[in-house]
Amino acid sequence: MANAFVAPPPPLKDELDIVIPTIRNLDFLEMWRPFFEPYHLIIVQDGDPSKTIKVPSGFDYELYNRNDINKILGPRSSCISFKDSACRCFGYMVSKKKYIFTIDDDCFVANDPSGKAVNALQQHIKNLLCPSTPLFFNTLYDPFREGADFVRGYPFSLREGVPTAISHGLWLNIPDYDAPTQLVKPLERNTRYVDTVLTIPKGTLFPMCGMNLAFDRDLIGPAMYFGLMGDGQPIGRYDDMWAGWCCKVICDHLGLGIKTGLPYIYHSKASNPFVNLRKEYKGIFWQEDIIPFFQSLTLPKEATTVQKCYIELSKQVKEKLSKIDPYFDKLADAMVTWIEAWDELNPQGPSQANGKA
Amino acid sequence: MANAFVAPPPPLKDELDIVIPTIRNLDFLEMWRPFFEPYHLIIVQDGDPSKTIKVPSGFDYELYNRNDINKILGPRSSCISFKDSACRCFGYMVSKKKYIFTIDDDCFVANDPSGKAVNALQQHIKNLLCPSTPLFFNTLYDPFREGADFVRGYPFSLREGVPTAISHGLWLNIPDYDAPTQLVKPLERNTRYVDTVLTIPKGTLFPMCGMNLAFDRDLIGPAMYFGLMGDGQPIGRYDDMWAGWCCKVICDHLGLGIKTGLPYIYHSKASNPFVNLRKEYKGIFWQEDIIPFFQSLTLPKEATTVQKCYIELSKQVKEKLSKIDPYFDKLADAMVTWIEAWDELNPQGPSQANGKA
């Protein structure tokens, strides 16, 4: 039955890692302590490696700075961004767990409309453990949620759903706006708690935000590359977008699902819109070509693993996006380097997707 | 700006008709009186024409029974279902207004979580007056709603949106389940008020329910045909589904949008699941072929009006679905008859879609 889904126990410590790009604010960890303390943290320091991040006692963590990344990956460390939170994807690569939850250090615990603290991690795990329904839209949203089901007219052959690879959570307070929107609406706050989770339909792209994101590393990990951003790159704030577009076309191809909606976190602080505009402005132009590229992209049948899909994608990026800017030529190479590094650190072989295309 | 949308005044009386398939319960109209009294009602009596529907005073209405339909349409009345609420589409055809709101007589006024009565009509009009965004998913849902906007990474070229043709509202209390789900979960009630409106993405089908539905007659009216159901037909309870699948592929082709979510109504009474199973069981098989048919269907570029799209669709139904059952041959003919009848009653010429494909 569709909604025989029972809330799972929180996954065991050895099934999930929390990846944090950097921690500038110790209140962040204190606030999340009751939820995060049982898990292992992977902190990837995004800036100057000579600075020290102090982690309060009680947390189980490993910390990587740029020197560590260079040492572990050698020449392949070129694929990991420096001085940008995009470096977090190094944490996805060194983790050995099935699930990853990644969160920014300006994201605090949200309250639901009843005032109860939202256990974001638990909701992400619920989302990842129950199937997605990308092939047909269910008007009562996630049919696997308690008190919901597939509505009249939903084909029975599609009710098994497909495995969920990604759970995309949302943000109360400061919404995830681009620089132009931030500039135009400096006072806008998101106060609407929309009590739902839904599958992004097959064939539809979405803007994936890395602030509050979980995924099944076995199913989609090698596609969760946050690109080349920050120091020495012509663009920023498109790391999670890039990963989202790549993941979406690969999930669609491999028959995997992506959910969005709950859980909310409380996003405390808007980043500087002027700084953001400088980082984003090339992306604002480029995305007008990138989106049609991803919308029309097809992957060959032989691409049966995430790695194979990703290598094929890198070829198409080189072939079709390099004409926009030489940056994409470099990015396509970095995508290949990323997969080489992933496979080196994860020698058990490529992830086998078990979805239905 | 995306959310410069200001709540519109309720449309003038001469812009909207309320179409009700039948009224078995006078409480229904009394409950809706404050919301419906300013508008014109079109009641299409679904059963025995010798029975009289008593409409309380104060309502402005016209009522059609089977004899009226036969008189107005002559031989073409064969396309209108008898003894089934699918007959409501006759009301869409005789209306001369821009907007239609259709509702079942077991749907009462819902309350929002604060306890306030939901003005369903007003929310539908809001949905229809602001654009849809079928070409890219916005994670904060309807970007045109107050307090929301397009999120970071949403292409700027797509932020104008497309005209909204259909607003699909939802149901608290009794969910719209098929007979098997009703049988298995007799006690399930929908108590979750999801405070959102969203666009169904292009290329994605959904199960459209006719219980609480509004549409722009100028944009999509001729495709809102509820098929052949009820008396003399081998199937029931697929009238709105059929209309929804046809409308979705035509909206996708013509660059029009469909929104779902708010407003809720309170659905008071579950229909008999045994009766429903009898009506539905052929549909349960057939939809397994119908869905792939609609998913793979393409309309030619020359189909630039709803009527042209619909006639083309009828040809493909005849060609590809008749092999499932002779019923589809009859249905394809009825689709043509429907368009002939529509054009006869609406001689101002075909609706001109003004969306972007």
Tell me the per-residue pLDDT of A43-77, one tens digit each, with 9 for 90 and over: 999 888 999 888 999 999 999 999 999 999 999 99
**Whether the predicted pLDDT of A213 surpasses 70:** yes
CA distance B18 to B37: 10
Tell me the per-residue pLDDT of A313-350, one tens digit each, with 9 for 90 and over: 999 999 999 999 999 999 999 999 999 999 999 997 54
- Give me the pLDDT at residue B352, please: 44
Rounded to a whole number of angstroms, the CA Rg of chain B reads: 19
| B200–A137 CB contact, under 8 Å | yes
Distances in Å between the alpha carbon of B213 and those of A248, B15, B20, B339? 31, 16, 11, 21
CA distance A235 to A284: 10
Q: Which of A158, A250, A130, A144 is CA-nearest to residue B206?
A: A158
Distances in Å between the alpha carbon of A334 and those of A93, A181, A220, A300, B147? 14, 31, 18, 21, 39
Residues paired with A43 in a beta bridge: A20, A63
Distances in Å between the alpha carbon of A73 and those of A68, A78, A263, A343, B300? 8, 9, 34, 11, 53
- Give me the pLDDT at residue A353, please: 43
CA distance A263 to A118: 7
By C-alpha distance, the chain A residue nearest B157 is: A288
CA distance A140 to B171: 9
**Which of the four pLDDT bands, split at 50, 70 and 90, describes residue A14?**
confident
**Which of the four pLDDT bands, split at 50, 70 and 90, describes residue A205?**
very high
CA distance A103 to A170: 11
- Give me the pLDDT at residue A1, please: 41
* Partner B contacted by A299 (CB < 8 A): no
- The domain segmentation of chain A, as residue ranges, is 16-345
3-state secondary structure of B82: strand
- Give me the pLDDT at residue B47, please: 87
Chain B partners within 8 Å of A159 (Cβ):
none
Secondary structure letter of residue B336 according to DSSP:
H
* Partner A contacted by B237 (CB < 8 A): yes
**Whether the predicted pLDDT of A357 surpasses 80:** no
**Whether the predicted pLDDT of A108 surpasses 90:** yes
- Give me the pLDDT at residue B270, please: 85
Tokens of residue B133, six digits: 């965004």
- Give me the pLDDT at residue B4, please: 44
Chain B partners within 8 Å of A238 (Cβ):
153
Average pLDDT, chain A: 93
- Give me the pLDDT at residue A349, please: 56
CA distance A272 to A274: 6
The structure's pTM equals 0.95
**What is the ipTM metric for this complex?**
0.94
**Option in B113, B168, B238 nearest A139 (CB):** B168
Q: Are the C-beta atoms of residues B100 and B225 closer than 8 Å to each other?
A: no
Which CATH number among 1.20.120, 1.10.3470, 2.20.130, 3.90.550 corresponds to the domain B16-345?
Answer: 3.90.550
| B148–A178 CB contact, under 8 Å | no
| B175–A201 CB contact, under 8 Å | no
* Partner B contacted by A151 (CB < 8 A): yes
**Option in A137, A192, A244 nearest B205 (CB):** A137
Chain B partners within 8 Å of A136 (Cβ):
204-207, 291
- Give me the pLDDT at residue B355, please: 43
Q: Are the C-beta atoms of residues A208 and A223 closer than 8 Å to each other?
A: no
Tokens of residue B130, six digits: 């602001």
Tell me the mean pLDDT in the region A140-166: 97
**Whether the predicted pLDDT of A5 surpasses 90:** no
- Give me the pLDDT at residue A25, please: 84
Pick out chain B residues at pLDDT < 70: 1-12, 349-357
Residues paired with A198 in a beta bridge: A260
The amino acid sitting at A150 is: F
**Whether the predicted pLDDT of A193 surpasses 70:** yes
Chain B partners within 8 Å of A153 (Cβ):
178, 207-209, 238, 240-241, 244, 287
- Give me the pLDDT at residue B25, please: 84
- Give me the pLDDT at residue A348, please: 74
Q: Is the peptide bond before A263 cis (omega within 30 degrees of 0)?
A: yes
**Whether the predicted pLDDT of A148 surpasses 80:** yes
Q: Which of B97, B247, B56 is CA-nearest to residue B168?
A: B247
Q: Which of A54, A53, A55 is CA-nearest to residue A65?
A: A53
| A190–B244 CB contact, under 8 Å | no
**Option in B138, B141, B152 nearest A178 (CB):** B152
Q: Is the peptide bond before B38 cis (omega within 30 degrees of 0)?
A: no
A8 Cβ contact list (under 8 Å, min separation 6): A125, A126, A129
For tokens 């007219």, what's the residue?
A153
Distance from CA of A209 to the nearest CA of B (A): 8
